Amino acid sequence: MTVKHDEGSAKPPIAPHAGELGVDTGGTFTDVICRVDGALSVYKLPSTPAAPDEAVIAGVRRFAGDAASDWRIVHGSTVATNALLENHLARTAYVANAGFADVLTIGRQARRELYALEPAAAPVPVAPELCFEVDARTAADGSALAAVDEAMLRVLVERVREAGVEAVAINLLFAFLDADAEQAIEAALRAADPGLTIARGSRVLPEYGEYERGIATWLNAALGPTVGGYLRRLEAALERVAIMHGAAGTVAIDQAADNAVNLLLSGPAGGLLGARFVARSAGLERVLTLDMGGTSSDVALIGRELALTSKTCIADYPVAVPMVDMHTIGAGGGSIAWLDGGGLLQVGPASAGADPGPACYGRGGTEPTVTDAHVVLGRLPASTRLGGDMGLDTAAARAAVARIAEPMGLSVEAAAAGILRVADEAMTAALRVISVARGESVADDSLLCFGGAGPLHACALAEGMGMRRVLIPVFAGVLSALGMLVAQRSRERSISVLETLQDIDAADVERRLAPLREAAVAELADEGVTADAIRERVSADLRYAGQSASLNLDWRAPAELVAAFHEAHAARYGHRFDLAVELVNLRLHLAGPVPDVELPAIASGQGRPEPAATTPVHGIAEPVPIHDRDGFGAGQHFEGPAIVREAVTTTWIAPGWSVRVDAVGNLLLEA
């Protein structure tokens, strides 16, 4: 395998010519992976949180120069997610039916603190003065009870204008059955102000459940100005970019701007695609994954296909559009360690981010972080060059950790070890949520760790989960960027049905799916995907009549689907009912061809690789060997303790673990 690790921005860029670039922006680093004639090169540069597009453009130009339009570029963005988490949302109006303006505030009345006498008030998504009502109504069967008229629209337009909003979310009852009223309101608002960002529920999420549909529609509108501005700047600089959406497919940049809510979890979705791609190269069909970056850690359980869910919750808001099924916690390499009011050690969720970053970056950071703890313990040796060109300030790392070591009466090394134990337990708990808490045994599976910080924690997390095998993939530090290169162009569409499954026939299903398919195929055609190259999958959300929760199953003949649902319900919940099965939603997945990307084989090696150096590590009696990953040959093997360094990540091999290098350079660890 020809792999070039760029180790400094002083090197000239690759001469402009056709190639492929995957770009993933994280809270701390922006990762770029380049593929030209089968050869892969990586580049890691600090993110620019104040203007994320600057780092993306710089990373692209590192390889493409000024000829970015000649390259295939796929980008995973954190802009939408960060805007929501940091509450950087546009001033947005919410339009509802008369009497339903407070739906988003009331929500599902689910209390997070069941026994608190004075629970904290939940945030109000839209202020009351920005909630507007129209006296129009569609019945549950789709018939019009009261239609919008010109006078009603004039009043609404004037009130919205006076409110001085940047965006409007329109969410009317049962508009997924008849969108005429929502479309009329949208047309009137656009005629009055063409620059207004407008989202309507019948397009964003045409499913039942006015609260979940309303939240998705509001988020689409409120994120629109931020996401749209970001994408327009990228398009102006790079011309042709595909954007990763949260369901692990790509969409053209001009279409992505109108679907901001679908870009939530954009970057993490690329990580799961990369993890599945590399796991298959190692012959693994199912893996438990940990993506640990600078700010957060994402965990998932991946089988033959990536699991999607419509029950994602971000910043305490339900986001019901389809997204990859993962669990996220605020524990990353930049997570800050602190002492709570009782003197107990805590780690995260606050992060040092990219600026100033952990103290060991030497950029003025003074707070102790997980990365600083690794430096103190020697697992990140002083010789490490983060991203290929960033040295470590070990004195600053020790000074930062000493800030919590002294109040606890511990040595700096003991405090650093405590930071790692707390962080490891938080990530182990997250891994349990996505696996054993759902009844999935993972003892015989492999733990796949990636991200800039993930491989440093791999052995400890596997031991905490009772797992004996770990995969540290090739390009582990930029695996999300690699996932961008293997992503398919795709669309997810859905429609609520809410009818007894036994009363549905194939013709009725096709009638409902036809307009969804036609619109999605047209969008894919605009992106160069021909109709004969599109792969389709239809699934159904099913439940027993009277239930609220549903299970998603692949579509088949209704009689077969009823039997399959009974079995699935018994497997999930331990029982089944003699009740009618209801078809809640139909879901349509359309995807173009899988990009032709392969991991090139590396040269064969023999026996144990010679270490490049040794380093002292706290708790290990003898100096620990340091191996350069670029020097490994296929078939080589060695035992821990050891450190494996590379330009984009560092791997800690704990005592008791052995390592084997496979044909493409993956590290297979066994205990």
* Residue owning tokens 């004195």: 395
Instruction: Measure the CA–CA gap between 19 and 80, rounded to whole angstroms.
Output: 27
pLDDT tens-digit readout, 534-570: 999 999 999 999 898 899 999 998 889 999 999 999 9
Question: What is the percent of the chain with per-residue pLDDT over 90, rounded to a whole number?
Answer: 66
The string of DSSP letters for 90-112 reads --EEEEEETT-TTHHHHTT---S
- Specify the DSSP class assigned to residue 369: B
On average, the pLDDT of the chain sits at 90
Give the mean pLDDT of 637-655.
93
Model confidence at 15: pLDDT above 70: no
Q: Which of 20, 11, 14 is nearest to 481 (CA)?
A: 20
Q: Is the dihedral of CA 182, 95, 497, 265 positive or negative?
A: positive
Query: CB of 152 within 8 A of CB of 134?
Result: yes
d(CA 607, CA 484): 35
**What stretch(es) of the chain map to CATH 3.30.420.40?**
3-85+229-263
Write out the H or E segment, with its range, that includes residue 267.
helix 266-281
Specify whether the CB–CB gap between 191 and 13 falls below 8 A.
no
pLDDT for residue 4: 38
Query: Kind and range of the H or E element at 200?
Result: strand 197-200
Q: What does the alpha-carbon distance between residue 352 and residue 371 come to, in Å, rounded to a whole number?
A: 10
How far is the C-alpha of 281 from the C-alpha of 287, rounded, in Å? 12
Q: Any residues with CB less than 8 A from the CB of 427 and at least 6 apart, and which?
A: 290, 292, 297, 299, 329, 331, 457, 461
- Confidence at residue 495, expressed as pLDDT on a 0 to 100 scale: 93
Q: Is 182 helix (H, G, I), strand (E, B) or coil?
A: helix
Section 178-201 average pLDDT:
95
Q: What is the pLDDT of residues 301-356, one digit of tens each?
A: 998 888 899 888 888 899 999 999 998 888 888 889 999 988 999 998 888 877 78
Contact 326, 300 (CB under 8 A): yes
Taking only the tens place, the pLDDT of each residue in 200-222 is 999 999 999 999 999 999 999 99
> Exposed, middle or buried by CB within 10 Å (0-12, 13-18, 19+), for 316?
exposed
The CB density around residue 270, as the number of other CB atoms within 10 Å, is 32
Provide the 3-class DSSP secondary structure of residue 602.
coil
The answer to whether 388 and 371 are in contact (CB under 8 A) is no
CB 468 within 8 A of CB 462: yes
Residue range 227-271, pLDDT digits in tens: 999 999 998 888 789 999 999 999 999 888 889 999 999 988 999
Beta strand extents in 51-102 (DSSP E only): 72-76, 92-97
Q: List Cβ neighbours of 482 (8 Å cut-off, separation of 6 or more).
A: 22, 33, 274, 277, 278, 475
The residue to which tokens 């600057």 are assigned: 54
Looking at residue 406, what is its pLDDT?
94
Q: What mean pLDDT do residues 66-74 have?
A: 86
pLDDT of residue 379: 94
- Which residue matches tokens 């300030």? 393
* pLDDT bucket at 50, cuts 50 / 70 / 90: confident
Region 360-389: what's the mean pLDDT? 87
d(CA 474, CA 384): 18
pLDDT at 87: 85
DSSP per-residue string spanning 326-347: -EEES--TTEEEEE-TTS-EEE
Instruction: Give per-residue pLDDT as tens, 118-158.
Output: 888 888 999 999 999 999 999 998 898 999 999 999 999 99
Identify the three-state secondary structure at position 519: helix
Q: Is the pLDDT of residue 531 over 50?
A: yes
How far is the C-alpha of 30 from the C-alpha of 234, rounded, in Å?
A: 15
Question: Any bridge partners for residue 317, and if so which?
Answer: 314
- Domain 490-591: give its CATH code: 3.30.1490
DSSP state of 160: H
Kindly state the average pLDDT of the residues 644-663.
93
pLDDT of residue 49: 82
- Determine the average pLDDT of the residues in 413-425: 95
Domain topology for 3-85+229-263: Nucleotidyltransferase; domain 5 (3.30.420)
- Structure confidence at residue 304 (pLDDT): 83
pLDDT score, position 388: 59
- pLDDT tens by residue, 464-488: 999 999 999 999 988 999 999 999 9
Q: Looking at residues 441-469, what average pLDDT do you find?
A: 94
For residues 439 and 461, what is the distance between their CA atoms, to the nearest angstrom? 19
Element housing 319 (H / E): strand 317-319
The one-character DSSP state at 74 is E
Rounded CA separation 311/307 (Å): 12
Q: Which DSSP string do the residues of 461-519 spell out, in sequence order?
A: HHHHTT--EEEE-TTGGGHHHHHHHTPPBEEEEEEEEEEEGGG--HHHHHHHHHHHHHH
1 confidence band (pLDDT: 50, 70, 90): very low
535 neighbors 590 (Cβ within 8 angstroms): yes
> Residue 40: enclosing H or E segment and its boundaries?
strand 39-46
Looking at residue 8, what is its pLDDT? 36
In whole angstroms, what is the distance from residue 326 CA to residue 308 CA? 9
- Tokens representing 162? 């006076």
The residue with greater pLDDT, 201 or 11, is: 201
User: CA torsion 258→262→264→270, rounded to 10°?
Assistant: -110
| pTM, entire model | 0.88
- Torsion 448-454-456-460 (CA) sign: negative
CATH 3.30.1490 maps onto the chain at: 490-591
Beta strands in 395-468 (DSSP E): 446-450
